[in-house]
Structure 1
Amino acid sequence: MSAGSFYYSLCFQSLFLFCITLILLVPFASFTTTIITRNSAQNERDEVALRAFKSKIVHDPQGVLSSWNDSRHFCEWEGITCGRRHRRVTVLHLSSRGLSGSLSPYIGNLSFLRNLMLYNNSIQGEIPREFGSLFRLELLSLFNNYLIGEIPVNLSYCSRLITLSIGHNKLVGKIPPEFVSLHNLKFLALHKNNLTGGIPPFLGNLTSLDFISISYNAFGENIPDSLGRLRKLSFLSLGGNNLMGTVPPSFYNLSLLSTFSVSENQLHGILPSNLGLTLPNLQTFIISLNLFSGSIPISLSNASKVEVVDMSENYLFGKLSIDFGGMQHLLRVLVHTNNLGSGGIDEMKFINSLANCSNLEMLSITANRITGVLSNSIANLSTKLQRLELAENQLYGSISPGIANLVGLNILVMFKNQFTGTIPIEIGKLQNLHVMSLGNNQLSGEIPVSLGNLSLLEKLNLQNNKLSGVIPSSLGNLKQLSLLNLSQNDLSGTIPEQIFNMPLLSISLNLAKNHLIGSIPSTIGNLKVISEFDVSDNNLSGEIPDEISVCSNLEYLYLEGNFFHGSIPLSLNPLRGIRQLDLSRNNLSGQIPKFLESLPLERLNLSFNDFVGEVPMKGIFTNASAISVVGNDIKLCGGIAKLQLPKCLNNDPKKDKISSIFKILISTASAVLGLIMIPSFIFCWLGKRRKKQAFESMLEKSLLKVSYEMILKGTDGFSPTNLVGAGSFGSVYKGILDQDGAIVAVKVLNLQHQGASKSFMAEGKALRNIRHRNLVKVITSCSSIDFQGNDFKAIVYEFMENGSLEKWLHPALESEEEQKKKYGLGNEISTNGDVYSFGILLLETVTRKKPTDVMFKGDFNLHSFARMALLDRVMDIVDPMLMNEEIVATNHRMRQALYDSREECLISMVRIGVACSVESPQDRMNISRVVHELQSTRKLLL
């Protein structure tokens, strides 16, 4: 071939190859372009879906979505994972990021998505039905959000779904029956929603299930037997669903079951005796708050893997005979609130086997009928034990000092048993203790000072024991304490001020029903957050401290049954949260303050005090069943009709009452002195003259005559209903002696009493010749013979409607014997005796204290009470009513002078009363001196 031919041949071949290549490459290029274009479109679709998701998030506190921008590919955005081959989104994981907003339906376009995890956020709204398009989805976790609505039926299209966790939301409706197609499902968590319609039996067909948590919904109905077919099941939680009936027997044959929880339902039945054998992998067994009965199976001792046993609040009975020795992993044993116990003496022996459980954290047998002694083996329990609850059983014996070995204890509850002996001082070593309740036992001795070392203690309850001694001031070291109850013991002494230095004492401070004395310390104002303060039924005295008003959270205030005096302080007005106030059975006085009307009280007890004046008529005072003012009736007036109090006579009864008492005090004392002394002078005079018969004749001629028959008829046969009073010389009856219906008082003398005849003659003449506005008037007398032929003598007086001075001072006088008691009515009449009686009466009037008051015991009496006060504190014992009257003066200096004069007058009266009532008759003040002193005292007021 020539060179030219070769050249042309080569060119032709090259052109041919080019054409062939061109023919082949053009279709391939077109195919490649198509693939690239399609992938790009799908990637763009994923990005659009992610941006749509971001647009629905309204709050991103951690800024997690700030990386979702154009500066990087969406596969590099935080929380996003893409496949290596196709660069499509396979995982969206933004859990526990605090996201708020709703779910975008565009998530359904992430067709390669396998895992969608958005749990522990604040996402609201419904689950989009478009999620059913995620046919590759294997894990959907939306747990712990605020999702609402029904579970989308379309999720049944996610046939590859292995994990469905949408619990702890607000979902409603039924579990869709279409879920029967989810054959790959292993993990189902729908708990803590509002699902209804019963547990669907089709779940028993999902044989891959090994985890079911559908507790705390509202399913109701029975547990379907079909669930017993789930042989792979290891976790079953059905609690809090209002389920009824019994647990299907097949459940107890699920040998892989490690957690079995059906608490808080209405299930009943008896536990199988072989429970511990058929469930060898059991770790958590919870059947609390149901209706199970029968005994606890002994076979449970074989469940060596058990960590939690909770059978509390059922109706289980019999002896607790489980041997816990083989349960090395045991954490909690809770069998409280059952009927366990058979009355045997060795029912606490199971404690010994718990010594091998070195991980034990809780033991509660409270509220059963278990009998036995808490032996020293308690000291061998785990040092990890945090809660030991043995309350409300029949345990007895002493508390072992070995309890101090349980250094991990947070809660020690042993109340309502029969423990005796003392509280071990070693208990102060439990430095981690937060709650200690040993109340309602028979513990004795003193409260250990070592309790002050429990610096973390929040609640201390020792009520209703036999503890004695004083309250340790070391309790003031308990700065975390919110409740302290030492009531119903034999504690004595004063309330330590340190008790009020606990700033977190907010629930209650209860010291009621002890023998405490002294006053409430002013440091009570430190308890600014206290809700209840109870010191009732003690021997406390003094005034109610103003500092209580600082306790702004106070709701319950109980001060009844003490010796508090003075008025209700106006400073209590700021207690705007007070609900119950009990001040009954004290010596409180003054007027009931108006501000009580505006307080939100639900109960108010002011009974058995010395309150005077008008009862308010608004607020709590409109509810007769919510208030009590009995025992003050003589001095109170007004109020609502149901209280049945007399009407008030004027607009300012307090001022009028106080003013009247103070103005007539000296005049009454002088008149009473005259009344007592004149008969004594007459007796002495008549004794010397020996003219008894002549005087009787004169008296009979001088006075109008009434017959025995008239007196007998007028007093309705001396009926007990007409008896006004009685003394050693006779009895006084109310009666009517004429046709006009005038009411009289008839004093019938007891002629068997020595001196009664003298009293008849002396009283008759003296009172006939005396006229005074403060003395009773004699109308006539009777000296006759009764129908049995016995001498009969009586004196007829005007009837005094307002009663006696004794009745006004002490409306609840107990008996005639108490009326006679440091007055001397049972003694022979003498001048010295009258002076003594007058002195006691004067002291009683000034102090408003009865000589028979319970505070006077042994050698301590009204005389010594006043004598000790003469040194420097007379005004402390004076009846506050005598000092509360307002003094009107033109200037401060004059007003102060009048106050000083009043105090000097009262001091002088106390001094006279003390001088008249000394024990030795010859040492008592002479009657002439008494009159002179009273006149001088009266001048102080003029």
Structure 2
Amino acid sequence: MRLFYLYSFSALMLLKAYGFTGETDRIALLDLKSQVSEDKQNVLSSWNNSFPLSNWKGVTCGLKHKRVTRLDLGGWQLGGVISPSIGNLSFLISLDLSDNSFGGTIPHQVGNLFRLEYLDMSHNFLRGDIPVDLCNCSRLLDLDLFKNHLEGDVPSKLGSLAKLEILNLGRNNLTGKLPASLGNLTSLMRVVFSTNKIEGGVPDALARLAQIEYLNLGMNKFSGVFPPSIYNFSSLKILSMFRSGFSGRLNPDFGNLLPNLRGLHMGRNSFTGPIPTTFSNISNLEHFGIVWNKMMGSVPSSFGKLQNLQYLSLASNSFGSYSSGDLEFIKALANCTKLDTLLVYGNRLGGDLPISIGNLISLQKLMLDDNLLTGPLPSSIGKLSRLVVLNLTSNRMSGEIPSSIGNITRLGKLYFSNNSFEGTIPPSLGQCKFMLYMRIGSNKLNGTIPQEIMQIQSLIHLDLSDNSLTGSLPKYIKPLERLFTLSVAHNKLSGQLPQALGNCLSLENLYLQGNFFDGDIPNIKGLMGAKRLDFSNNNLSGRIPGYFANFSLLEYLNLSINNFQGMVPTEGKFQNATVLLVFGNKDLCGGIKELKLKPCIVQVQPTETSHSTPVKKFSIGVSIVIVFLLMLFIAYISLCWLIRKRKKNQQQTNHPTSSSLEVFHEKISYAYLQKVTDGFSSSNMIGSGSFGTVFKALLPTENKIVAVKVLNLQRLGAMKSFMTECESLKDIRHRNLVKLLTACSSTDFQGNDFRALIYELMPNGSLDMWLHPEDVEEIRRPSRTLTLFERLNIAIDVISVLEYLHVYCHEPIAHCDLKPSNVLLDKDLTGHVSDFGIARMLMKLDQESLFNQLSSAGVRGTIGYAAPGKLYYILKKNCYSFFVHYNLVSVNFGAEYGMGGQPSIHGDMYSFGVLILEMFTGKRPTNELFGGNATLNSYIKLAFPERVLDIADDSILNSGLRVGFPLDECLTLVLEVGLKCCEETPKNRLATSEARKDLILIRERFFKH
């Protein structure tokens, strides 16, 4: 028996020596491995049946008991789920599963790890609630669950983790309020709740957290004033409250209560009032940002006392009073020798930029755009040798750009657009060899483009548009291999385009329109990545280069209003009429039929002989006589025709001729349309408008689905609408116009007049049904809402059409009825303007023609979208009772399109402005909110810009924008364009080109990627 015990004891010692007492840990680890996704299990190949466990990758065991004490799998990119067996590692002190792709929930068995001090499951895809059982880990010092998909409330039992020093629950989907029990965690030093959906205020009980040094509450839905409990955190070094939802004034004693702050980030809240003067007592402050609030008053010069200040952002508030003393603080900031970033854009700063700006010698980023700065740019700016970004866009600065700016050789981004700078562009800018973006458009610059600028090989974006530059494009352009956009549009440049343009191989956008360039387009076939090329409104000539057909990425090629000759190619990109614009070139011919150019005729010259001269003279004489007689005959026929036409118009004004239809495809019969629409079945009806109904149809001959608009000729004005639409669309082509394919002018089976227009079908319906899905039957209702980016793109599509109609057509055209139901969306949600039934060509008319046009026009447009005017024009039409009934007297509907007012592009701009306001607020201009003196415009102005998020369409607020996206800033700028477009006085409204440019700049600013 003794021998048996001896052998048993020896065996036990042997098992212990080889670590078999950790069998429970081994089984738990192998089970954990089994739940890891198969494609990643090879990372854990050392996890097998071997011993000891300390040889397994990521595993640390105790020296005495050989049990697992640390499990470090952070950053191994493991997937799968976390096995509940992890709760059996009862000796675990540290568990790091961070930076992987674990899904599922946090096993509540983790609460069994009573020895656990460090728990990091951050940067995974964990979901569900935070397990309450975690609160059993009473020794926990560090709990990090950052960046997962955790939901539910913050557990109040977390307040029992008395030893907790670090609590990081940021970047999840937590809701509810912060529990007051967190005030029991008096050892906390670092707390992160950022990027959740936590509501309410910060409990007063948190005032007991006297040890806290780092607090991040940003990106939540808190409410109320700045939390009073935070004023007790005298040890606080970093406080981030970015976009957290707080409001109200800051405590005047702020700087005395939080004297140890180094970083203070309070942007995108609703704080008001001035900056407390006690901020100067926060002597260690390095970073201070309070961008996008409602603060006002002057910028304190006492900031100059903060000698450790590196970053100062006061942008998008209401600092300043548009007066000369607003920039006094800049002189004081010279004492902040470490200051590298100064952002004060979007305020009310006025006056001249002081010479003392040159004393901020450490500055790397200076943004003073969107203020009201005046006067010249001081030459002392050249002392800022470390400057990388300089933005003075949209001020009222004037004078010359100093040549000293070339001393800032590190400059990478230079934005001077929308000012009144004069003189020439300094050649010294060529010394800025790291320049990426140079935007100095929309000024009053003159002279030539310096050759030196075109030698900056780092350039990505160069915008010199809308100035008065003369001369030619520099001929010797280095291979600007990174240049993405070059715009010299709307200057006074002339001469031939340089061959060297073809060496800019990365060029995607080339804007040369609105100059005096002449000669042929040079060989630029190397620009195979080009997307947008605009050569319009110049004096270019020669043949259209055929290599454009092979530019596979080309979206827009505008060659209009030039002197090009010869045949338009028909291959590749030339087959797409939505890409190509060639109007205004009288000597072009051929091309695809959508371009509606004259056919090309090949003339063979006869061979002359020495005996042909007498015969030629005789032939000329006979020809002259024949031509003279022919002219007399034509004059006689024309006179008879005019007499018959006048009689016919007097007898039958409602029957049009077919001349307006001759430009379209072969006309389609009533019987054919009746067949392809299943007898105009209601099942094929996709909409209805003022003058008719729209049906979907499949044209078998072309295997193409189209939209057939059948006019109700019993409706007064329907025939005129039909003719107007044909006349308006027969000679115009734009990628954002709904394409009119053909028309039907016939009679039905009963002999009644029948008129229909056949359009290219837009599969995503109208913008109206996307903005107001509640008004659409369920079967046609969109499955989702439009994103902010999609709405902005559609707005740009629409204004691009208006710019084309108003500026680039042979005769300007006013649409006269722009509204969401007349904006149709294709499969890519690109906007196309439709319904030209009441459009008007704005040609010069004699008094009689003008009277006839206006008297037949009546009130044009749609209620809410038509421009306001003088009420008596409406009263002359005896409509007073109608407008009173619908509470519209105050808006003076439609007078600009009514009696006594010729249709104009200003009316279209008003409608476009209302369209923008509706697109981004989701409210129709006829909403029941608006009555009496209230309109959609006034509703927005009352909330603008402080409460812009309150009036925004809710679907935009929940459209999945990236974290940190400046939604309020973007909406403010977009709605500002809308308000400027629908100013009551026509001359005060934005011009079409200005509105389009502003919207494109907004898109570039907020959606660069």
Do the structures match in fold with TM over 0.5? yes
Determine if contact 2:160/2:184 at 8 Å carries over to the other structure: no
CA gap of 1:380–1:411, structure 2 versus 1, over 3 A, is same
Deviations 1:818-847 (A, max 9, x none): xxxxxxxxxxxxxxxxxxxxxxxxxxxxxx
Alpha-carbon spacing, 1:291–1:604, altered in 2? closer, same or farther (3 Å): farther
* Partner deviation per Cα, 1:614-666 (whole Å, 9 max, x = no partner): 7845xxx5xxxxxxx8xxxxxx56xxxxxxxxxxxxxxx5234x6499999x9
Q: How far did 1:284 drift? A: 1.5
1:738–1:223 CA distance, 2 compared to 1 (3 A): closer
Number of aligned positions between the proteins: 640
Aligned to 2:423: 445
Partner of 2:344: 365
Q: Is the 8 A contact 1:578 1:601 kept in 2?
A: no
1:236 aligns with 2:215: yes
Give the partner amino acid of 2:322.
G
Residue in 2 that maps onto 1:468: 446
Among 479, 488, 494, the alignment partner of 1:501 is 479
**Cα distance 1:602–1:46, how it changes in 2: closer, same or farther (>3 A)?**
same
Distance 1:149 1:69 in 2: 31
Task: Name the CA shift for 1:573/1:614 in 2 (closer, same or farther; >3 Å).
Answer: closer
Pair 738,277 (structure 1): closer, same or farther in 2 beyond 3 Å: closer
Percent identity of the aligned residues?
A: 34
CA distance in 1, matches of 2:431, 2:320: 36
Tell me, yes or no, if structure 1 residue 577 matches structure 2 residue 553.
yes
Alignment pair present for 1:294 and 2:273 = yes
SS in 2 for 1:446: coil
Give 2:600's aligned amino acid. K
Query: 2:304, 2:41 → 1: CA distance?
Result: 50
Partners of 2:619 and 2:174 lie apart in 1 by 87
For 1:83, the equivalent position in structure 2 comes to 62
Q: How does 1:660-675 map to 2 (within 5 A)?
A: none
Cα RMSD of the aligned pairs, angstroms, is 4.3
Q: State the distance in 2 between where 1:606 and 1:291 align.
A: 51
Offset at residue 742 of structure 1 (A): 13
Deviation string, structure 1 residues 46-103 (Cα, Å, up to 9, x no partner): 2333344455556999997566677763235454333333232222234344455543
Shift of 1:555: 2.4
Q: Secondary structure at the match of 1:585?
A: coil
Q: 2:488 maps to which residue?
A: 511
Q: Does 1:346 align with 2:346?
A: no
1:309 aligned onto 2:254: no
What pairs with 1:693-708 in structure 2 (closer than 5 Å)?
none
- 1:44 and 1:365 mapped to 2: Cα distance? 64
Distance change (3 Å), C-alpha of 1:62 and 1:535? farther
Q: Report if aligned partners of 1:476, 1:501 keep a CA contact under 8 Å in 2.
A: no
Which amino acid in structure 1 is aligned with residue 553 of structure 2?
A: G
- Alpha-carbon distance in structure 2 between the residues aligned to 1:530 and 1:316: 43
Please give the per-residue CA displacement for 1:722-759, whole angstroms capped at 9, x wherever unaligned: xx9xxxxxxx997459999999xxxxxxxxxxxxxxxx
From 152, 166, 187, the equivalent of 1:173 is 152
Question: 1 CA distance for matches of 2:461 and 2:619?
Answer: 55
Contact 1:62 1:98 in 2 (8 A): no
Residue of structure 1 equivalent to 2:411: 433
Residues 580 and 601 in structure 1, CA contact (< 8 A), matched pair in contact too: no
3-state secondary structure, aligned to 2:417: coil
Residues in 2 aligned to 1:390 and 1:431: alpha-carbon distance in whole angstroms: 20
Residue 164 of structure 1: aligned partner: 143
CA contact (8 A) 1:475 1:499 kept: no
Q: Does 1:262 align with 2:241?
A: yes
What are the ranges of 5 or more consecutive residues in structure 2 without an aligned counterpart?
A: 648-809, 812-842, 845-1009
Cα 1:60/1:95, change in 2 over 3 Å: farther
| Structure 1 residues 742 and 341: CA distance shift in structure 2, 3 A | closer
Q: Is the 8 A contact 1:300 1:322 kept in 2?
A: no
CA distance in 1, matches of 2:97, 2:259: 36
User: Residue 221 of structure 2: SS of its match in structure 1?
Assistant: coil
Q: In 2 relative to 1, CA 62–42 (structure 1 residues): closer, same or farther, beyond 3 Å? A: closer
Q: Secondary structure at the match of 1:91?
A: strand
Alignment partners' CA distance in 2, 1:342 and 1:544: 51
Q: 1:390 to 1:48 in 2, by over 3 A?
A: same
One-letter identity of the residue aligned with 2:370: E
Which residue of the partner structure matches residue 564 of structure 2?
A: 588
- Equivalent AA in structure 1 for residue 504 of structure 2: L
Give the Cα separation in 2 of the matches to 1:599 and 1:82: 72
CA distance in 2, matches of 1:450, 1:393: 27
1:414 match: 392
Decide whether aligned partners of structure 1 residues 677 and 294 sit closer, same or farther in structure 2, where only a CA change above 3 A counts: same
Which deviates more, 218-227 or 421-430? 218-227
1:247 is aligned to: 226
Q: What SS does structure 2 have at the residue aligned with 1:654?
A: coil
Q: Does 1:527 align with 2:496?
A: no
Q: Where do residues 547-696 of structure 1 align in structure 2 (5 Å cutoff)?
A: 547=524, 549-590=525-566, 593-595=569-571, 605-610=581-586, 616=592, 621=594, 636=596, 654-656=599-601, 659=603
Question: C-alpha distance in 1, partners of 2:624/2:182?
Answer: 105
Tell me which residue corresponds to 1:188.
167
Secondary structure (helix, strand or coil) at the match of 1:358 reads: coil
Alignment-derived partner of residue 251 in structure 2: 272
Residue 492 of structure 1 aligns to a residue whose secondary structure is coil
What SS class does the counterpart of residue 466 from structure 1 fall into? Answer: coil
- For 1:45 and 1:740, the matched residues in 2 are separated by 108
Q: Does the 8 Å CA contact 1:345/1:371 hold for their aligned counterparts? A: yes
From 368, 379, 387, the equivalent of 1:401 is: 379
Deviation at 1:546, TM superposition (A): 4.8
Q: Where does residue 625 of structure 1 map in the other structure?
A: none
Kindly indicate whether the alpha-carbon contact (under 8 Å) linking 1:407 and 1:430 is maintained by their aligned counterparts in 2: yes
- For 2:41 and 2:476, the matched residues in 1 are separated by 48
Give deviations 1:849-896, integer Å, cap 9, x for gaps. xxxxxxxxxxxxxxxxxxxxxxxxxxxxxxxxxxxxxxxxxxxxxxxx
Unaligned runs of 5+ in 1: 1-21, 622-628, 630-635, 638-652, 679-702, 707-723, 725-731, 744-810, 816-942
Conserved 8 A contact 2:202-2:229: no
- Equivalent residues of 1:577, 1:600 under 8 A apart: no
Residue matched to 2:518: 541
The Cα shift of 1:558 comes to 1.7
Partners of 2:130 and 2:605 lie apart in 1 by 83
- Report if the CA contact (8 A) 2:536-2:558 is conserved: yes
Q: Deviations over 1:694-713 (max 9, x none)?
A: xxxxxxxxx9xx9xxxxxxx
1:447 is matched by which residue type in structure 2? I
**Which amino acid counterpart does residue 235 of structure 2 have in structure 1?**
L
3-state SS, counterpart of residue 259 of structure 2: coil
In 1, the alpha carbon distance for the partners of 2:510 and 2:560 equals 15
The answer (yes or no) to whether the contact 2:203–2:229 under 8 Å persists in 1 is: no
Q: Deviations over 1:5-46 (max 9, x none)?
A: xxxxxxxxxxxxxxxxx99x9999999998997895542322
**Which amino acid letter does the alignment assign opposite residue 564 of structure 2?**
L
Letter matched to residue 255 of structure 1: S
8 A Cα contact 1:132 1:154, kept in partner: yes
Provide the rounded CA distance (Å) in 1 between the counterparts of 2:258 and 2:543: 72
2:466 to 482, 488, 503: 488
Please give the alpha-carbon distance, in whole angstroms, between the structure 2 residues aligned to 1:414 and 1:516.
25
Cα distance in 2 between the residues matched to 1:564 and 1:293: 57
1:340-399 alpha-carbon deviations (Å, 9 max, x no partner)? 11233122121122222222221111111111332232222142x221111122223333
Q: Using the alignment, how far apart are the partners of 1:123 and 1:292 within structure 2?
A: 40
What displacement does 1:237 show?
Answer: 1.0
Equivalent position SS for 2:494: strand
CA distance in 1, matches of 2:388, 2:144: 35
Give 2:85's aligned residue. 106
Query: Which 10-residue stretch deviates more, 106-115 or 75-84?
Result: 75-84
Deviation per CA, 1:892-918, whole angstroms, max 9, x where unpaired? xxxxxxxxxxxxxxxxxxxxxxxxxxx
1:139 deviates by: 1.0
State which structure, 1 or 2, has the greater radius of gyration over its C-alpha atoms.
1
Instruction: Return the alpha-carbon distance in structure 2 between the equivalents of residues 257 and 739 of structure 1.
Output: 93
Confirm or deny: 8 A CA contact 1:575 1:599 kept in the other structure.
no
